[in-house]
Amino acid sequence: MTKASNSGWWRGGVIYQIYPRSFQDSNGDGIGDLPGITRRLDHIAALGADGIWLSPFFKSPMKDFGYDISDYCDVDPMFGTLSDFKALVMRAHALGLKVMIDQVYSHTSDQHPWFKESRASRDNAKADWYVWADARDDGNPPNNWLSIFGGSAWQWDTRRRQYFLHNFLTSQPDLNFHNPEVQQAVLDSVKFWLDFGVDGYRLDVVNFYFHDRQLRSNPGRGMPDGSDPAVSPVNPYAWQWHHFDKSQPENLVFLQRLRALVDQYPDTTMVGEIGDDDGLARVAEYTGGGDKLHMAYCFDLLGEPHGATYLHGVFTRFNQVVGSGWPCWAITNHDIPRVATRWGGAHPPAGLLKAAAALQLSLRGTACLYQGDELGLPEAEIAFEDLQDPYGIAMWPDYKGRDGCRTPMAWESAAPDLGFGAAGSTTAPWLPVAEPHRALAADRQRGQSGSVYETYRALLAWRRGVPALIHGDMTLLSAHPQVLAFVREHAGERVLCAFNLSDAAVNWRADAAAGPIGAVLADSGVRGAAVQGDAVAFEPWGVLFARLG
């Protein structure tokens, strides 16, 4: 296979995630769609992102809102048509934005034609396309694997009189990647969209593709302590070490096949979502060597811990395992409570949000923003009767699900629906708008000096002119209870990045090995630190970017 040229735009780039249902409704049905996204692309381009990631818009019964796909190669009518998607791609490209799409290959919908055929008998052409297993002698499932959404990962099927595997909803059966025909069918769908003109993929639960052939049970880990940000402590899924139901060695071989295909198309990339007992090590493994994923993210920045000591430990651990791998750092997405509330509580200080943005955008790796991050939107409170997420409905009230980060985008402060709906529409959005978002709407923040939006925009514009923040190595300075600090270095340029991640002022000194602090880079859009020699006086949530001698 011929390898196409690649500009590496994603390396150190910024990707903006769009959740289509909640971004912009163009036809008045209460659900966001592709023409609505196209209408709002100027907002993302003006912000300064390099590309967009679209959560699934493919045909689906929507039991898990598009993460249960019934046709990998077509648009669900609620979002529009293939022509609408083509128009979106063309407009994005005209604005200088790359387009990445979200594909879910570990499982399909139970309405996918492949599964309908597979469950019909044990000897049809697709009988082995999904993970089927006989019951044990007592009728129980073949092992102790659990679904992330609660309960056994095995569902009894009366037609085949066997269990099928589902790591998520029972309506999301897992594909059997040990079957070469399944692998080829997936690769064919990847090629379809690459030929269509997309610039890359976000790959959902990319380490879930293969399961242990022997179906060995996972070992127990005991009562969880709540420290795993990927799984709610009320979920029994956290009670196991997941040695056999995911992250199998065969996955690496398939990812090499996938990378070889994607590399035939110029300037393309892939980012994988990894949920694993050791996510940082898996990110390094899946992105190392230049022959698998281009980049990946895990959940270490997506939990509640965010202090300087915790983050110093995360980055220390990552530096130990990263090798040639490349991370993608996200602090919010469509599966996680919004960072404003998760880190800032009921009344998140603007300084914390600006410091979090500055930190994320100065780390070694690619940054992934989620729609509304740039506005500092807090998590929405959703009444039980308004919940849509099956995960939250099943685990209410101790876990309220993912709807709180999926409410309609706040565009216009004075509009009843915050500008989400089509002009003149009286249809209620699929999730209620969050009234606390009204004062933070995009039209309120644009042009407002010091707003969270203008801070993001300034940061994104500024970092383009600081090569060390995009291409440089990253060296952590000594741990401190309030201040996280590191040095980014590239081609002789050394930049000190230091953050007071607390609501109390603090005096701090850089490591002697860092060298003398030079000119403060004051045009980053963030501030809150005064330098005197090698000493720095930080205000609460203060940020310092400075040259080093």
What are 34-86's pLDDT values in tens digits? 999 999 999 999 999 999 999 999 999 999 999 999 999 999 999 999 999 99
Q: What are phi and psi of 265, to 5 degrees?
A: -115, 135
Q: Which of 33, 68, 76, 204 is catalytic?
A: 204
Interval 112-135 mean pLDDT: 98
The reported pLDDT for the residue numbered 202 is 98
DSSP designation for 363: S
Q: Which of 174, 245, 273, 335 is catalytic?
A: 273
The CATH architecture that domain 473-548 belongs to is Sandwich (2.60)
Q: Between the CA atoms of 401, 404, 406 and 407, what dihedral angle is there, to the nearest 10 degrees?
A: 140
Q: Per-residue pLDDT tens for 241-261?
A: 999 999 999 999 999 999 999
pTM of this prediction exceeds 0.95: yes
Query: β-strands 132-133, 162-165: how paired?
Result: antiparallel
Q: Per-residue pLDDT tens for 334-385?
A: 999 999 999 999 999 999 999 999 999 999 999 999 999 999 999 999 999 9
CB 440 within 8 Å of CB 338: no
Indicate the domain borders of the chain: 14-108+180-461, 473-548
Closest CA to 337 of 386, 370, 363, 311: 370
- Residue 178, both tokens: 């040990």
Q: Is 250 a catalytic residue?
A: no
Q: Per-residue pLDDT tens for 257-274?
A: 999 999 999 999 999 999
How far is it, in rounded angstroms, from Cα 492 to Cα 490?
Answer: 6
Interval 476-483 mean pLDDT: 98
Is residue 215 very low, low, confident or very high in pLDDT (cuts 50, 70, 90)?
A: very high
Q: Which residues contact 246 (CB under 8 A, 6 or more apart)?
A: 167, 205, 207, 208, 210, 211, 275, 276
Interval 455-459 mean pLDDT: 98
pLDDT at 468 > cutoff 90: yes
DSSP designation for 16: E
The reported pLDDT for the residue numbered 1 is 65
The reported pLDDT for the residue numbered 228 is 62
Other C-beta atoms closer than 10 Å to the C-beta of 134 total: 11
**Helix, strand or coil for residue 89?**
helix
Interval 106-115 mean pLDDT: 98
How far is it, in rounded angstroms, from Cα 540 to Cα 49?
Answer: 28
Q: Is 412 a catalytic residue?
A: no
DSSP 202-250: EETTGGGS---TT-PPPPB--S--S--TTS-TTSGGGGB--SSSS--TH
Is residue 224 very low, low, confident or very high in pLDDT (cuts 50, 70, 90)?
A: confident
CB 435 within 8 Å of CB 327: no
- Residue 261, both tokens: 């295909």
Other C-beta atoms closer than 10 Å to the C-beta of 397 total: 8
CATH of domain 14-108+180-461: 3.20.20.80
Crossing angle of the two packed helices 180-196 and 82-94, in degrees rounded to 10 = 60
Averaged pLDDT score across all residues of the chain? 96
Is residue 307 very low, low, confident or very high in pLDDT (cuts 50, 70, 90)?
A: very high
- Residue 424, both tokens: 């003149």
Interval 401-414 mean pLDDT: 98
The reported pLDDT for the residue numbered 235 is 86
The reported pLDDT for the residue numbered 424 is 87
CB 341 within 8 Å of CB 408: no
The reported pLDDT for the residue numbered 462 is 97
Q: Per-residue pLDDT tens for 494-533?
A: 999 999 999 999 999 999 989 999 999 989 999 999 999 8
